[in-house]
Amino acid sequence: MSLTAPRAFAESVARHGARIAVIGEDGVALSYDELDALRLRAARALIACGIEHGDRVAIWAQNGVEWIVAGLAIHSVGGVLVPINTRMRGNEAGYVLQKSGARLLFCTGKFLGQHYPTLLAPHRPANLRSIVVFKDAAADELGWNEFLACGERIDAQAVEQRSAAIKPDDRLDILFTSGTTGLPKGVVSGHQQNLRVIADWSAHMGLVPEDRYLVVNPFFHSFGYKVGWLGGLLAGCTVLPHAIFDAAAVMKRIAAERISVLPGPPTLFISLLADGERAHYDLSSLRATITGAAAIAPSLIERIRAELGFKIVLTGYGLTETCGIVSLCKPDDSAETIALTSGRAIPDVELHCIDGDGRALPPGEAGEIVVRGYNVMQGYLDDEQATRENIDADGWLHTGDIGVLDARGYLRITDRLKDMYIAGGFNCYPAEIERIIAAHPAIAQVAVIGVPDERLGEVGKACVVLRPQAMLEPAALIAWCRDNMSNYKVPRQVQVMAALPLNASGKVLKFQLRAEAVAATQTI
């Protein structure tokens, strides 16, 4: 197995040169040879723009062919890829760019009703020297084609020299994940560890060059990037990026393009199964999928198999801090095992549940999940204290999740530490959302909790105390949140309270708020 991303992609090109590598939503298809040529042009342009080995280069854009080309080019010159969540607002993206020290940003023009360069403008950090706009570039902006032309004066050999100089443990990327401190932390990981994770995931999925892989999971996430387009290309598949999930559009594309691989969160499959027009589409090409990020009923696994026709349906568990994967089910596991567990640790990775004293617990006893192995991150960017707090002296990553291992070594997630909840497949950290809401001029106190939701699994509920004489309708606060944070973080419910329940030391009793929220739903 190749130890660096550019070498691995080069080997895939050598094996599959004439095969179709990517097909955009506009129907434009590129062979592996053509994709490689475009990668080389973009890599030469990065060098022309002054990007050196180890420099951080960010991408803030929806899934698309240009994202893939830019990502491959960043890898090729020894740059460090920094994906940015497309749901982030300008201030959130600005923080990631500043914290990462990114020198160049690839971004979309217009997406989700917003013009991204305009969103960023008031929050652009001084370290960001250049912005390249993939589509809809304004007259005074550097567009994608103009960027590619910048590299014409750079010899292709310069790119090859850069690629050859990359070491297996060099940084591949920095993915920002929110945390209980209220500010996102940059998770640093290297080439070799990511390639090993991708190879193991691909083996579980049984990826083959004949597969046509529709990637709906966002590229800014490990699911859409590492075991998404990158994993698909390294396996020789045809990768079809898809920017916005819409059940009808996805089913139309499955039928037209004969899609065989389609991973996604449970909400994706629930939407497909619930669509009344599903019978009008030929979905018989579907072969393999993996889902997770939320509790799944065994009946849903059976329906994914029986009604959508998947032969392989897997579940798994992972974190950004573990290159995206810790454990996986096997294709021949029962529907109950796949639905109720997250599988076993992948090879060469250790997985324990521990008690409060750090002792490994026997099967059947719940404790904090800890992970040790090659997949554990190199650390948090420029944050040695947070790294030490999460990775102990023996190399165990403390996940903050509570789980139970059965006698077979299969993991079941039972709870989460530090109040995190998952809305539609996205991790939501109350401390971060509370920090933003606290800036509202009418808010005196706020506590955010996760509450059950039929469609998204969980959503946020903001319990707020207003400042004296202040007036604020719940709908108005929700609208304000939509303007100031990523959509998935926006609380769907707001409760105005006279006071938050506190313990003797002044800490908010969130378990009481959660109990009251559950009781309220049961009385409706």
Residues pairing with 450 in the sheet: 460
Confidence (pLDDT) at 296: 67
Within this chain, do residues 400 and 483 fall inside the same structural domain, yes or no?
no
- Quickly list H helices, 258-368: 266-274, 298-306, 335-340
136-173 residue pLDDT tens? 888 889 999 999 999 999 999 999 999 999 999 999 99
Residue 153 domain flag: yes
More confident residue, 186 or 468: 186
Q: Lowest mean pLDDT: which of 205-214, 278-287, 446-455?
A: 446-455
Within this chain, do residues 240 and 250 fall inside the same structural domain, yes or no?
no
Contact between 187 and 377 under an 8 Å Cβ cutoff? The reply is yes
DSSP E strand boundaries for 117-170: 130-133, 142-143
Within this chain, do residues 104 and 229 fall inside the same structural domain, yes or no?
yes
- Give the range with max mean pLDDT: 232-236, 244-248, 435-439, 511-515: 232-236
Residue 412 domain flag: yes
Residues sharing a CB contact under 8 Å with residue 148, sequence separation 6 or more, in sequence order: 38, 41, 42, 45
Within this chain, do residues 507 and 365 fall inside the same structural domain, yes or no?
no
* Confidence check: pLDDT of 97 > 90: yes
Within this chain, do residues 274 and 229 fall inside the same structural domain, yes or no?
no
* Confidence band, pLDDT 50/70/90 cuts, at residue 524: low
- CA 218 from centroid of its chain's CA atoms: 6
As given in the structure block, the two tokens for residue 336 are 């109950």
Residue 202 domain flag: no
Q: What CATH number is attached to the domain comprising 466? A: 3.30.300.30
User: Which position has the token pair 């290297």?
Assistant: 190
The proportion of the chain whose per-residue pLDDT surpasses 70, expressed as a percent, equals 96
- Give the range with max mean pLDDT: 254-263, 286-295, 298-307, 479-488: 254-263
The stretch 209-225 carries a mean pLDDT of 96
Q: How many contiguous H segments (helices) and E segments (strands) does the chain have?
A: 18, 27
Q: At what angle do helices 65-76 and 32-48 cross, to 10 degrees?
A: 60
417-460 residue pLDDT tens? 667 888 988 878 787 898 899 889 999 889 999 998 888 889 99
Please state whether beta strands 344-345 and 327-328 pair in parallel, antiparallel, or not at all (unpaired): antiparallel
* Confidence band, pLDDT 50/70/90 cuts, at residue 179: low
The proportion of the chain whose per-residue pLDDT surpasses 90, expressed as a percent, equals 75
What strands lie across the sheet with 130-133, from one edge to the other? 142-143, 130-133, 104-107, 56-60, 80-83, 171-177, 185-190, 379-380
* Confidence band, pLDDT 50/70/90 cuts, at residue 180: very low
Q: What is the spatial distance between Cα 209 and Cα 236, in angstroms, rounded to a whole number?
A: 4
* Confidence check: pLDDT of 267 > 90: no
Confidence (pLDDT) at 492: 95
Within this chain, do residues 403 and 436 fall inside the same structural domain, yes or no?
no
22-47 residue pLDDT tens? 999 999 999 999 999 999 999 999 99
Confidence (pLDDT) at 507: 67
* Confidence band, pLDDT 50/70/90 cuts, at residue 294: low
Residue whose C-alpha is closest to residue 266's, from 242, 295, 245, 288: 295
Within this chain, do residues 324 and 443 fall inside the same structural domain, yes or no?
no
Q: Lowest mean pLDDT: which of 12-16, 94-98, 134-138?
A: 134-138
The stretch 463-487 carries a mean pLDDT of 93
Within this chain, do residues 384 and 488 fall inside the same structural domain, yes or no?
no
User: Average model confidence (pLDDT) for the chain?
Assistant: 92
Confidence (pLDDT) at 418: 67
Which letter does DSSP use for residue 182 in this model? Answer: S
- Domain extent, residue 180, equals 5-189+208-244
Q: Residue 370: CA atoms inside 13 Å, Cβ hemisphere, count? A: 23
Residues sharing a CB contact under 8 Å with residue 208, sequence separation 6 or more, in sequence order: 235, 236, 237
Contact between 88 and 96 under an 8 Å Cβ cutoff? The reply is yes
First to last CA, the chain: 57
Q: What CATH number is attached to the domain comprising 54? A: 3.40.50.12780
Q: What is the spatial distance between Cα 264 and Cα 293, in angstroms, rounded to a whole number?
A: 9
Within this chain, do residues 274 and 398 fall inside the same structural domain, yes or no?
yes
Within this chain, do residues 174 and 282 fall inside the same structural domain, yes or no?
no
* Confidence check: pLDDT of 415 > 70: no
Residues sharing a CB contact under 8 Å with residue 443, sequence separation 6 or more, in sequence order: 437, 464, 465, 466, 467, 470, 472, 477
Within this chain, do residues 260 and 240 fall inside the same structural domain, yes or no?
no
337-389 residue pLDDT tens? 988 899 999 999 999 999 989 999 999 998 899 999 999 999 999 999 999 99
